[in-house]
Amino acid sequence: MLDINLFRENPDVVRKALRDRQMDPQIVSTVQVQDERRRQLILQVETLKAERNQVSKEISRIKDPAERQAKIEAMRLVGDRIAGLEKDLHQVEADLNQLLLTIPNLPDEQVPYGKDESENRVVRTVGEPSTLPFEARPHWELGVNLGILDFERGVKITGSRFYVLSGAGARLQRALIAWMLDLHIRQGYTEKYTPFMVKEQTLIAAGQLPKFYDNLYRDAEEDLWMVPTAEVPLTGLYMDEILEEADLPLAFTAYTPCFRREKMSAGRDVRGIKRGHQFDKVEMYVYCLPEDSADKHAKMLADAEETCALLGLTYRVVELCTGDLGFAMQRTYDLEVWSPGVQEWLEVSSISNAGDYQARRANIRYRPADGGRTRFVHTLNGSGLGLPRTLIAVLENYQQEDGSVVVPEVLRPWMGGVEVIQPVENRKEA
RNA sequence: GGAGGGAUGGCCGAGUGGACGAAGGCGGCUGUCUUGAAAACAGCUGUGGGUAUUACACCCACCGGGGGUUCGAAUCCCUCUCCCUCCGCCA
């Protein structure tokens, strides 16, 4: 949510942001009109209330019954007028709020302009896209041949885009999760285990609703929604709280499954495990002082890069242009790892600074140490790597000519010392 | 799922239609005293919004959320949420 004062004092800043995001700036004027109406109504309502309060106090002291009755009558009429105006006011405020919830964050000044993802900027590439001395197989061949990836049974029990990991495959994913969590803990993040279902308000706070309604799963009867990313419960953690400056920064890491309907991307990336309705992710999340968020963003990017580097994966850092920037974010870097089987750069992480945008929606503030007025915190989030894609990259980069897959060194402690994933002998186990 | 009891400021805890933004206590801050500290004493101690001659001014709202009754609601009524106790079910 943007500060309403921006629309009063600097509407052109908002218009430019919307244009840069390839959106219609018309809504800015609509907000201004509603805001003006709101303030007029507040002025009227409060003037009447002040009058009523004052006269009501007098009534309790008036002895003369006729005078008393006259004042009561007069105040009854004032009460009716207040009720009418308040009804209008509530409507205007609800409308205004709905409008503000649909307006995205302002891109940071340093974000390059671009109309869509084709204009994102590669900041740097670390490593060389690997060339294997034999023809690289895609993970869906590798995984099935090894007996660690079962598409047919996933489809059978749930449906299209679902799969089952088996044996060393399931264990490899679990190893990645455990290893990443431990790495992030070393990097200074505190582990959190959160609910995987949240209420609507929590999704609004994180900026997922109302915009991404179509991409979310929910219980049809209750106000319970499956999280599309750990960012949602982690943003909600401090909803409606006032932190002390001394408490900041707060840095968290959490593993959660993520559930996404992905209606809009039906038909894309149908092959393999790159895009599913359910996937696992380890997330990093930071609450900090406004003046620190750029530094924290750099640190989080470095932490995510370390994850790729320790896995021995070739990756590149991409800065998102204005047209591709996420709804709630002011600046975002994507991390993409090279995977020789699918022959593409896989987006495994998105590291974003939301500024105070989510904090406003979630109403998360802090009290400055000098005792001044409360301010909104800044929030940042970044995947410590999305699991299916990291799994793809590991399988495809570490494959050998005979179809086996070497387990990256760092993961072996979580793999019971297994160094190479070999084909499973017993077909039933697969 | 059934029955009952609760929800008040940073915390504890009073209030029962007007004098209540809310007693009292604790904690915190400031001052006096002190070489310093403690103690004692005194004062202060929430959030949001509106107005604006931007004056640490005035006004409005907030006692779990929403709605109602009333000239006036922390207080009465309805409803929702959450917590506690007991029963049932359950990994």
* Cα A247 off chain centre by: 22
Backbone phi and psi for residue A366, each to the nearest 5 degrees, phi listed first: -140, 155
Average pLDDT, stretch A379-384?
A: 92
Nucleotide nearest A74, CA–C1', reads B71
pLDDT tens-digit series, residues A272-297: 999 999 999 999 999 999 999 999 99
- pLDDT, one tens digit per residue, over A135-167 is 999 999 999 999 999 999 999 999 989 999 999
Residue A427, pLDDT score:
59
Give residue A373's pLDDT.
Answer: 80
Give per-residue pLDDT as tens, A58-79: 888 888 888 899 999 999 999 9
pLDDT value, residue A155 = 93
In order of their start, the domains of chain A are 4-101 (1.10.287.40), 117-426 (3.30.930.10)
Average pLDDT taken over every residue of chain A: 92
**Helix (H/G/I), strand (E/B), else coil: A254:** strand
Give the CA angle between residues A206, A349, A196 to the nearest 5°.
Answer: 45
Least confident range from A85-89, A118-122, A278-282, A403-407: namely A85-89
Considering A37, A38, A68, A275, which one is annotated as catalytic? A275
d(CA A95, CA A248): 34
pLDDT attached to residue A428: 61
pLDDT over 90 at A40, yes or no: yes
pLDDT of residue A266: 65
Question: How many CB atoms within 10 Å of residue A408?
Answer: 20
Q: What is the pLDDT of residues A212-223, one digit of tens each?
A: 999 999 987 788
The active-site residue out of A166, A339, A350, A383 is: A350
A409: which strand partners? none
Angstrom distance (rounded) from CA A385 to CA A381:
12
Segment A224-231 shows an average pLDDT of 94
Is 90 exceeded by the pLDDT of residue A338? yes
| A275 carries an active-site annotation | yes
Q: In whole angstroms, what is the distance from residue A80 CA to residue A93 CA?
A: 20
Of A15, A361, A365, A389, catalytic: A389
The answer, yes or no, to whether the previous bond of A210 is cis (omega within 30 of 0) is yes
Nucleotides of B under 7 A from a protein CB: 18, 47-51, 59-61, 67-68, 70-72
Rounded CA-CA distance A304/A312 in Å is 13
Give residue-wise pLDDT tens across range A244-254: 888 889 999 99
* Cα-based distances in Å from A363 to A58, A107, A202, A231, A242: 39, 21, 11, 16, 8
The pair of three-digit structure tokens given for residue A405, joined into one six-digit string: 């897959």
Look up the ipTM and state it. 0.86
pTM score of the predicted model: 0.92
pLDDT score recorded for residue A426: 60
- The backbone region for A133, taken as left when phi is positive above 0, alpha when psi lies in -120 to 50, beta otherwise, is alpha
Over residues A292-307, the mean pLDDT reads: 97
What confidence tens digit (pLDDT) does each residue in A191-218 have? 999 999 999 999 999 999 999 999 999 9
Within 7 Å: CB of A60 and strand B?
yes
Q: Which has the minimum average pLDDT: A36-40, A135-139, A143-147, A422-426? A: A422-426
Contacts of A273 (CB under 8 A, 6+ apart): A139, A140, A143, A149, A163, A279, A388, A391, A392
- Supply the pLDDT for residue A270: 78
Token pair of A17, please?
């942001």
User: In which band, very low, low, confident or very high, does the pLDDT at A174 lie, cut at 50, 70 and 90?
Assistant: very high
Asked whether strand B has any atom less than 7 Å from the CB of A52, the reply is: yes
- Indicate the pLDDT class of residue A265, thresholds 50, 70 and 90: low
State the pLDDT at residue A298.
98
Q: Strand B within 7 Å of which CB atoms in A 29-48?
A: 39, 42-43, 45-47
Stated in angstroms, how far is A242 CA from B13 C1'? 24
Q: Span A120-125, mean pLDDT?
A: 97
Tracing tokens 């793809």 back to the chain, one arrives at A392
Q: How confident is the model at residue A264 (pLDDT cuts 50, 70, 90)?
A: low
Q: What is the pLDDT of residue A244?
A: 84
| Whether residue A153 lies in the annotated active site | no
Say which of A93, A141, A200, A347 is annotated catalytic: A347
CA dist A56 → A130, A332, A429 (Å) = 81, 56, 80
